[in-house]
């Protein structure tokens, strides 16, 4: 469970990186209109959530460095009984320091006046440089300083991207974050179990989506962490297929890529399984090749290795397997150099996972792949895809799309697969789908 003390510690860690009199400005998300007077479900900006744990829209967190320490100022929506009747109780300013651990809270309407004053004393400003709306506000606040102080105005001339500093902080997960991520993955896993058990010829992709997202909701997830992918048959060859509208057919595979969001943290699991609970021989051959690549990358994952090295191991396993199946012809090293696998495996093997499903954090440092460290969480997700119009391969492979994705935590000893409770062997999947105890 996250406490206000933990969020305070994160703010202090950011302040430690800032020079004296620097100012950091981190915005909340705003509600987005869906149509006329209805909004999309609100989802808080990840950096703002990371530093505050506060889920109201339209706020602004300001950190002011003062010597060796600093203070945190919150600008948030004021109490408004009429609006609260429609949209829910607001925290307001009086209770914010106690509940959130900030030093002071001000009504959002005071932001222009307060920021103009604070900028007049700042040595430099840290803000997310890709937030154009905030940057325009920053320029307006600078003008406010000039209007107030005229010739005596002294404005900071250095901008720093606060998002980069926060990305580095967010990349290494704390024990509290790992516990929440495990919960998000556990809920995601339960959804996958339920969808597998509900699969049958004649059902629809959207019905499997409903099964897994129902399980997410009843287990306390706020929402899916991203648009659920339920692709049966050739739809599994579309990497981001989200129409989820077709009927399931006997003899087809179905690929589900879905995860739950729990207290801001994302799960991200992919499993591919037969609609009717039994792999055909061709499906089994391709599936076990993808599984071999998944397991080899997991075997190699640990402190000091890199995501690039894991990706290369996946490419080697898949290319060797495609050679053995007769889908590719030639010498292994020549095929790897020519990227002959790419028509059938066109995406990366891994991405960071955390508050965002494709989480922040740089992948390369000074041109070299970043070594993995304990506390990093990422996916391992090899796949193979043969669309129906893939005429260069034997017809038995056409229309098959397979991906196996696990969520992996780097530990001091090696790695932990957070999603290993979801079966992924042929025997384990077939056992689960016929109602027996599933083997991993």
Q: How do residues 128-183 score in pLDDT, each as one tens digit?
A: 999 999 999 999 998 888 887 766 667 888 999 999 999 999 999 999 999 999 99
Per-residue pLDDT for 68 more than 90? no
Q: What is the mean pLDDT of residues 78-95?
A: 96
| Residues paired with residue 224 on neighbouring β-strands, in sequence order | 260
Is 214 annotated as catalytic? no
Catalytic pick among 205, 385, 406, 430: 385
Phi, psi of 431 (to 5 degrees): -65, -45
Catalytic pick among 211, 246, 252, 257: 257
Is 358 annotated as catalytic? yes
Per-residue pLDDT for 45 more than 70? yes
Q: Which residue has the higher pLDDT, 287 or 153?
A: 287
Is 403 annotated as catalytic? yes
Least confident segment among 31-40, 130-139, 149-158, 344-353: 149-158
How confident is residue 184, by pLDDT bands cut at 50, 70 and 90? Answer: very high
Is 194 annotated as catalytic? no
Is 205 annotated as catalytic? no
Per-residue pLDDT for 384 more than 60? yes
Catalytic pick among 213, 215, 261, 381: 381
Instruction: Please give the pLDDT value at position 436.
Output: 56
How confident is residue 309, by pLDDT bands cut at 50, 70 and 90? Answer: very high
Catalytic pick among 13, 147, 347, 434: 347
Instruction: Please give the pLDDT value at position 148.
Output: 78
Q: What is the mean pLDDT of residues 179-195?
A: 98
Per-residue pLDDT for 440 more than 60? no
Per-residue pLDDT for 439 more than 50? no
Instruction: Please give the pLDDT value at position 121.
Output: 87
Catalytic pick among 146, 158, 358, 434: 358
Q: What is the mean pLDDT of residues 22-27?
A: 97
Instruction: Please give the pLDDT value at position 143.
Output: 87
Is 252 annotated as catalytic? no
Catalytic pick among 36, 37, 151, 175: 37
Rounded-to-integer distance, Cα 167 and Cα 20, Å: 22
Instruction: Please give the pLDDT value at position 347.
Output: 98
Instruction: Please give the pLDDT value at position 132.
Output: 95
Q: Which helix (H) or strand (E) holds 64?
A: strand 60-66
Catalytic pick among 47, 261, 268, 407: 268
Is 20 annotated as catalytic? no
Per-residue pLDDT for 322 more than 60? yes
- Closest to 167 in 3D by CA, of 3, 367, 14: 14
Is 262 annotated as catalytic? no
Residue 360 Cα distances to 63, 102, 163, 223, 254, angstroms? 21, 25, 9, 20, 30
- Helix then strand then coil, in percent of the chain rounded to 5, is 40, 20, 40
Mean pLDDT of the chain: 95
Is 385 annotated as catalytic? yes
Give residues with Cβ within 8 angstroms of 388, minimum separation 6: 234, 237, 398, 399
Q: What is the mean pLDDT of residues 181-194?
A: 98
Find the DSSP H helices in 120-264. Answer: 132-149, 162-171, 175-198, 205-218
Catalytic pick among 240, 281, 331, 366: 240
Catalytic pick among 215, 262, 403, 430: 403
Instruction: Please give the pLDDT value at position 279.
Output: 98
Give residues with Cβ within 8 angstroms of 403, minimum separation 6: 236, 255, 257, 270, 272, 290, 381, 382, 383
Is 268 annotated as catalytic? yes
Per-residue pLDDT for 88 more than 60? yes
Catalytic pick among 252, 356, 405, 407: 405
88 CB neighbour count, 10 Å cutoff: 8
Percent of the chain with pLDDT over 70: 98
- Closest to 182 in 3D by CA, of 407, 420, 418: 418
Instruction: Please give the pLDDT value at position 152.
Output: 61
Catalytic pick among 351, 356, 359, 430: 351
Per-residue pLDDT for 111 more than 70? yes
Provide the whole-model pTM: 0.95
Q: What is the mean pLDDT of residues 396-423?
A: 98
Is 37 annotated as catalytic? yes
Per-residue pLDDT of 217-231, as tens digits, reads 999 999 999 999 999
Cα 33 to chain centroid, rounded:
23
Instruction: Please give the pLDDT value at position 153.
Output: 65
């Amino acid at each position: 469970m996250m406490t206000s003390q933990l969020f305070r510690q994160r703010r202090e860690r950011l302040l430690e990186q800032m020079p004296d009199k620097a100012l950091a400005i981190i915005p909340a998300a705003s509600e987005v209109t869906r149509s006329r007077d209805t909004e999309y479900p609100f989802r808080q900006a990840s950096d703002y959530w990371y530093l505050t744990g506060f889920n109201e829209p339209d706020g602004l967190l300001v950190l002011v460095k003062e010597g060796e320490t600093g203070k945190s100022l919150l600008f948030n929506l004021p109490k408004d009984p009429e609006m609260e009747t429609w949209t829910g109780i607001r925290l307001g300013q009086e209770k914010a320091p106690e509940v959130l651990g900030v030093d002071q809270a001000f009504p959002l309407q005071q932001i222009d006046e307060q920021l103009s004053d604070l900028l007049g004393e700042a040595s430099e400003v840290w803000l997310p440089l890709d937030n154009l709306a905030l940057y325009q506000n920053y320029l307006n606040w600078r003008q406010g300083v000039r209007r107030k102080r005229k010739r005596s105005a002294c404005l900071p001339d250095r901008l720093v991207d606060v998002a980069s500093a926060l990305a580095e902080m967010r990349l290494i997960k704390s024990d509290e974050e790992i516990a929440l991520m495990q919960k998000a993955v556990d809920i995601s896993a339960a959804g996958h179990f339920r969808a597998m058990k509900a699969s049958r010829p004649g059902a629809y992709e959207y019905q499997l989506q409903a099964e897994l997202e129902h399980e997410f909701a009843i287990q306390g997830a706020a929402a899916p962490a991203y648009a659920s992918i339920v692709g049966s048959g050739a739809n599994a060859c579309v990497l981001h297929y989200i129409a989820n509208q077709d009927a399931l057919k006997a003899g087809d595979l179905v690929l589900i890529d879905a995860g739950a969001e729990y207290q801001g943290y994302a799960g991200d699991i992919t499993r591919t399984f037969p609609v009717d609970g039994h792999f055909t021989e061709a499906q089994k051959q391709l599936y076990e090749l993808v599984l071999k690549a998944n397991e080899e990358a997991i075997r190699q994952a640990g402190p000091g290795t890199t995501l690039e090295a894991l990706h290369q191991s996946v490419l080697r396993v898949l290319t060797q397997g495609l050679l053995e199946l007769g889908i590719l012809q030639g010498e292994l090293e020549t095929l790897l150099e020519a990227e002959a696998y790419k028509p059938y495996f066109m995406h990366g093997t891994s991405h960071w996972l955390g508050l965002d499903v494709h989480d922040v954090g740089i992948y390369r440092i000074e041109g070299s792949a970043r070594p993995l460290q304990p506390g990093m969480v990422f996916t391992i997700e090899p796949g193979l895809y043969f669309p129906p119009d893939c005429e260069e391969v034997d017809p038995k492979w056409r229309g098959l799309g397979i991906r196996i994705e696990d969520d992996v935590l780097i530990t001091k000893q090696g790695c932990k697969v957070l999603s290993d409770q979801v079966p992924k062997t042929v025997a384990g999947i077939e056992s689960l789908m016929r109602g027996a105890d599933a083997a991993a």
